[in-house]
Chains A and B, each alone.
Chain A
Amino acid sequence: MNVLIGHYNYWIVIFLMMAGLYVVIAQGNLVKKIVGLNIFQASVFILFISMGKVEGGTAPIVTQGVSLYSNPLPHVLILTAIVVGVATTALALALVVRINEAYRSVEEDEIHEQDQSF
């Protein structure tokens, strides 16, 4: 029972991660794949942040009278990861726009057909 209460954050993360992974491999639409990738990314952020939380601690800003802080190290890593993630998404969506202009479609199998018919 202790295991259940102590680990439920990891299971939520795994559920979100698998949902994102499923979208990436099962959907044919390129834009939906990118959305799935973002769901996956967000689940990893939740994993790190939830692991950094300390019970009874506050936000990691030094204030008078507070002695226990949540761990600032995962916050730093995730801050970087969020901004890098949006940069990657922007670049991926730019590629999707160009693919659409070249192939007239954003469905994976139609693009594959057009490639193979050359």
Chain B
Amino acid sequence: MLFGIYSFLTASLFVTLDAVDVAFTEAAVGAGISTFLMLSTLALTVPREKVRRKRNVIPLLVVTTIGATLVYGTFDMPYFNDPSAPLHSHVARHYIEASADEVGVPNLVTAVLASYRSYDTLGEVTVIFTAGIGVLALLGYRKRRGKS
């Protein structure tokens, strides 16, 4: 349940950051499919978890160290919302300016996804297809044999 709320919040965050396509996908996929998967997995396995007694400190230390190192690493990164960051200067500028002539589709994200980078999208569709086959192989054809 919390998982669905988390996905929905992430989708809303994406809308405020101007990423409407991504928000759409995250809302559809995260709040819908992921919640269903989690609920059905919990229904198919044990509904309550084992209560742990001892607290382990080592994961907490590891995580804090990694977090501190990452924060130290962000001091050099470009500022939030900066239009002159190097990210926006090279390939993206070409996509935004030339896509009206080369592709002619108003939605820039679709233009990049389906035309400039369509080979990557082919790879993505292959991954989804493979995952479908994998799930089918794992949970599919148990029609006759019953599990004890």
A and B, direct touch (CB closer than 8 Å): yes
Q: Interface on A for B, CB 8 Å cutoff?
A: 2-3, 5-11, 14-15, 17-18, 21-22, 25-26, 28-29, 31-32, 35, 38-39, 42, 45-46, 49-63, 68-76, 78-80, 82-84, 86-91, 93-98, 100-101, 105-107, 110
Specify the main secondary structure of chain B where it touches its partner. Answer: helix
Assembled-state Cα–Cα distance A1/B104 (Å): 44
Specify the main secondary structure of chain A where it touches its partner. Answer: helix
Assembled-state Cα–Cα distance A78/B19 (Å): 10
A residues in contact with B33, CB < 8 Å: 86, 90
Q: Are A26 and B60 in contact (CB under 8 A)?
A: yes
B residues in contact with A28, CB < 8 Å: 50, 52
Most buried by B among A29, A54, A55, A106: A54
Q: Are B59 and A63 in contact (CB under 8 A)?
A: no
Q: Does B147 contact A (CB under 8 A)?
A: yes
B residues in contact with A75, CB < 8 Å: 19, 21-22, 109
Number of interface residues of B (CB under 8 A): 78
Q: Are A63 and B29 in contact (CB under 8 A)?
A: no
* Closest residue on chain A to residue B139 by CB atoms: A94
Assembled-state Cα–Cα distance A83/B6 (Å): 17
- As a 0/1 sequence over residues 1 to 35 of chain B, the CB contacts with chain A under 8 angstroms (1 = contact) are 00100110010011001111110011001100110
What are 24 A-B contacts with C-beta separation under 8 Å? A11-B74, A46-B13, A49-B17, A50-B17, A51-B78, A52-B87, A62-B100, A62-B108, A68-B83, A69-B96, A69-B108, A72-B92, A72-B109, A73-B95, A75-B19, A78-B22, A80-B121, A84-B128, A91-B135, A93-B38, A97-B44, A97-B139, A100-B46, A107-B50
B residues in contact with A87, CB < 8 Å: 127-128, 130-132
Contact of B34 among A22, A29, A52, A86 (CB under 8 A): A86
